[in-house]
Amino acid sequence: MSTTASAAAELSNEEIFRYSRHLILPEVGLEGQRKLKRARVLLVGVGGLGSPAALYLAAAGVGTLGLVDFDVVDATNLQRQILHGTSTIGKRKLDSARERIEDLNPNVKVEAHETPLTSRNALEIIRTYDLVVDGTDNFQTRYLVNDACVLLGKPNVYGSIYRFEGQASVFATADGPCYRCLFREPPPPGLVPSCAEGGVLGVLPGIIGTIQTTEALKLILGIGESLAGRLLLVDALRMNFRTLNLRKDPQCPACGTHEITELIDYEEFCGVRQAAAADAAAQSGVPEITPKQLAARIARGDDFDLIDVREPHEWDIARLPGARLIPLATVIEALPTLDSARDIIVHCKVGARSAKAVQQLQASGFKKVWNLAGGITRWSDEVDPSLPKY
């Protein structure tokens, strides 16, 4: 009687009523709900994966949620980031998240870390939490989160998405493998498109984020069989779920040989800085024209060819008047149809792909080629706001 009474004392009557569907589950019960209340979970990123994780962890009664993010809510986030809303566009994601979480469950304490997670602050931030939910969107932060979790002995609940597919696992448990056991090194920058470049089905982070949340809750409660040692692959198009065995690699520099004894420079490790420098160097030789200069040439009735190197599905969304579509991958085969005696202006969405096309044309002997700086996105900002941005 006294044990039950003191255990119950940690949850208010309001909380007992709120969590009644948990309390009547023998696998959770009063003791499990108290574990949830005592738990401290860190969400790295409150975007696509972090949205459902934050909502369900808060709803479940996890006592303290740490949130790491430094982004601002943008309208293009709302197709999948259900933690945020139209009313919070333009606000800091951490403020938007706090409002929503406090409305959902005022018993949850939100700790906001408005900063990118870096080698300098990661150990200090992660140290005070019981486990981490990785909802980041780039390789450098994923390796950083992994190594910090291995060094600190904190479970890393992993999820990752692309287009219609996702991966989930639990890394860095006492005897389990880590992210580096699965992927020893990151791909070179630019090889794997991000969701901003390649797109993602809006509900996919909902599927993967709720799987991560399920794993986080199981770890806190100490129930079931975790995904540690298994990799879950989700294919939403075929609606196929498959788990593969994930082994701890004895040669893993993080959790195997332990040769990684401190956090490293992850931008260097992922080649991000080198790639940015190489891009800048390559693009420095690309002649540019601004949207306003292009508009002036069109208004003057100048004679030139305007080439759009985006994909057909992007062409369907928005296009510039008088442009001709030649997707970047087909520029070389379209060379015979282009006249090197005429001025050629090339554009894409923001100017990166078209810079590559300009270089290809230059390499093929074209001398009068310009890149539209900022692409049709900047054209929409500076010349014709009626053109939709995407």
Partner 1 sequence: MAVTLFLPTVLARLADSGTLKSEGDTVGQVVENIAGRYPDLAPRLRDEKGDPYAFVTFYLNDEDIRFTGSFKSPVKDGDELTIVPAIAGG
* Nearer Cβ to partner 1 (140/377): 140
Task: By CB under 8 A, name the one of 106, 187, 224, 285 that touches partner 1.
Answer: 187
Task: Give the DSSP H or E segment for 23.
Answer: helix 20-23
Instruction: Kindly indicate which of the ranges 29-37, 129-137, 294-302, 356-364 contains the residues binding partner 1, using the contact rule CB under 8 A.
Output: 129-137
Give the residue from 317, 315, 82, 276 showing the smallest Cα distance to 189: 276
Compute the distance between CA of residue 191 and CA of residue 184 in angstroms, rounded to an integer: 16
Residues 278-297 that bind partner 1 (CB under 8 A): none
Instruction: Kindly indicate which of the ranges 88-96, 99-107, 193-201, 366-374 contains the residues binding partner 1, using the contact rule CB under 8 A.
Output: 193-201
By CB under 8 A, tell whether 192 contacts partner 1.
yes
Could you confirm whether 178 is annotated as catalytic? no
Instruction: Name the maximum alpha-carbon separation found in the chain.
Output: 93
- Phi/psi region, residue 168 (left: phi>0; alpha: psi -120 to 50; beta: rest), is beta
Task: By CB under 8 A, name the one of 22, 37, 47, 168 that touches partner 1.
Answer: 47
Instruction: Kindly indicate which of the ranges 135-143, 279-287, 291-299, 365-373 contains the residues binding partner 1, using the contact rule CB under 8 A.
Output: 135-143
The residue count for binding partner 1 (CB under 8 A) is 45
Catalytic site residue from 149, 255, 270, 348: 348
Binding mask 198-237 for partner 1 (x = CB under 8 A): x-x----x-------------------------x-x-x-x
Task: By CB under 8 A, name the one of 109, 184, 258, 324 that touches partner 1.
Answer: 184
Residue with tokens 């939910």: 133
Apex 69 CA angle, 258 and 227, nearest 5: 50
* Nearer Cβ to partner 1 (3/245): 245
Read off the DSSP letter of residue 198: H
The secondary structure of 26-58 as a DSSP string is TTTHHHHHHHHHH-EEEEE--STTHHHHHHHHH
Instruction: Kindly indicate which of the ranges 88-96, 148-156, 245-253, 371-379 contains the residues binding partner 1, using the contact rule CB under 8 A.
Output: 245-253
Catalytic site residue from 149, 181, 195, 255: 195
Compute the distance between CA of residue 298 and CA of residue 73 in angstroms, rounded to an integer: 36
CB 136 within 8 A of CB 42: no
| Torsion on CA atoms 206, 210, 211, 212, rounded to nearest 10 | 110
Parallel/antiparallel/unpaired status of strands 165-171 and 230-235? antiparallel
- By CB under 8 A, name the binding residues for partner 1: 45, 47-50, 134-139, 142, 159-165, 167, 182-187, 191-195, 198, 200, 205, 231, 233, 235, 237, 242-247, 249
As annotated, the active-site residues are 195, 348
